Amino acid sequence: MLELAGPIKLLLSLLIGAAIGLERESYENFRNPDFDKSHKDKQGSLGVRTFSLITTLGTLAGLMRTDFPDLFITINMVFLVLLVAYYITGSILIKDNGITTEMAIIFSYLIGIFIALNIFPIQLVLAIAVILILILSQKNTVRQWITGIKQAELTAFISYAIIALVILPFLPNVFYRLKDLPGLTSVLGSYGLDSNQIFMIELVNPYKLWFIVALITGLDLTGYLLSRTLGQKKGWLLTSFVGGFVSSTSTTISLAQKSQKSSATNKLVAGAILANLASFFQLFVLIASTNGPLLVASSRLLFILILTSVLSTIFFLKQNGGSSENLNETKEKLQQTQIFSLAPALRFAVIYLLVGVFAKIALTFFGEGGFYITSGIAALTGIDAVILNLSALVGKSLSLSAGIYTIILINAVNLTSKCVYSFLQGKREFAWRFSAAMLFIIVSSLFALWS
């Protein structure tokens, strides 16, 4: 640890105190240019001189600790009394009940002591001082940020904290099989079923099940944060893209409904394609988080899906058909996104569990063909649960090639279902163009099988 001489310690504490005081003084001047005129007679403002003295006093007290312990304690007590008196008079005279400045005084005094006693490396002390100045300088920014937080958003953050930090760490990381269900042996035996084969099917791992819930809800929360920041400041195309992270199906339906009263069909189709492009990036994150070998094997497929989506978007954006009317109404509608809560997270857990159990049963009794059928049916409602179950099986019960076939299948089924929704919710011109783009993406994905 770097050891500084006494005079250098005093000089360093003086400079740090001056920097902290400069921030405090500049903030008071910015908040109220007439601060000195209106409050000078009530309570002196704390600035460069005061904070320089505070940090220097802390260093002097620290240097006296070994040779003059009684004086060290006395200085600390006097400092504490002065601090309490400053807070009380400030609360009474200028009706300021905040303690930010008082906390800055305490930290400044402690920084002086840290420098004197070498409790921490000098680099860490300087880092503490810089962070303190940064926190003090961001008061208006923090206040604006807090003011913009809605109650629903706060509830969502708390819900996610419960999911990821309260529940997940305490769940058992053990697989429970069907044989662990009491009374199942006699029931299956009465129907003449091979209970031994069924009993080997893994039912649920509580930790991994809830980890999947935390992963999905985390992605939903990330998508919402993107829509609240980037989506609100940029155009409706970016809003469509970030909306796809939350729900590509809902975003597609919203754009299809807008097409009923809009002539900007090509632009709406481009937005719907962008929403599905976001779902492909989400697909990448899900696979990368759960199965590395499957990610490597499916990298060509994911690249094709992303590339064809980008090309389709560019194609429709460059079309001149339809007017370039203002689409702020579309943007506002897409931003009306419901944040997740515990109830949807629990529903997803149930869906994930049921899809996983039926997929494993189909794989056990009907082989890969049965697994493909089960996965295809499940993909009609969404591909997240199917992809996560697939990642858990590839490398164990399924080969990598079977994993690629399944991804192509469920993606094709899911995109086809969105085409059906577009015909039901949008005008025919939008539906046909969107379906053509989805067909192009589906057919192109088959090239991932070409080795």
**Looking at residues 132-148, what average pLDDT do you find?**
74
Contact indicator for 164, 214 with CB cutoff of 8 Å: yes
* pLDDT score, position 195: 54
Q: How far apart are CA 93 and CA 81, in angstroms?
A: 18
pTM here?
A: 0.58
Q: Name the DSSP class of 171.
A: S
Tell me how many helices (H) and strands (E) the chain has. 20, 2
Q: How far apart are CA 140 and CA 150, in angstroms?
A: 18
Q: How far apart are CA 53 and CA 40, in angstroms?
A: 20
**Residue 388 reports pLDDT greater than 90:** no
**Residue 21 reports pLDDT greater than 70:** yes
* pLDDT score, position 32: 57
Q: How far apart are CA 16 and CA 308, in angstroms?
A: 56
Q: Which residue has the higher pLDDT, 187 or 390?
A: 390
* pLDDT score, position 326: 47
Residue 273 pLDDT level (bands cut at 50, 70, 90): very high
Kindly report, residue by residue over 334-385, the tens digit of the pLDDT.
Answer: 454 556 556 666 777 787 778 777 777 777 777 888 888 888 888 887 788 8
**Residue 331 reports pLDDT greater than 60:** no
Percentage with pLDDT > 70 across the chain: 75
Contact indicator for 285, 263 with CB cutoff of 8 Å: no
Most confident of 224-238, 260-274, 431-445: 431-445
Could you give the C-alpha distances from 27 to 94, 96, 137, 337, in angstroms and in order? 17, 15, 7, 37
**Looking at residues 229-243, what average pLDDT do you find?**
65
Helix/strand/coil percentages in the chain, nearest 5: 80, 0, 20
Residue 233 pLDDT level (bands cut at 50, 70, 90): very low
Q: How far apart are CA 374 and CA 358, in angstroms?
A: 7
* pLDDT score, position 303: 95
Q: What is the average pLDDT score of the chain?
A: 79
Q: Which residue has the higher pLDDT, 340 or 214?
A: 214
| Element housing 314 (H / E) | helix 299-317
| Side chain identity, residue 16 | I
Kindly report, residue by residue over 38-60, the tens digit of the pLDDT.
Answer: 444 444 457 888 899 999 999 99
Q: Which residue has the higher pLDDT, 337 or 5?
A: 5
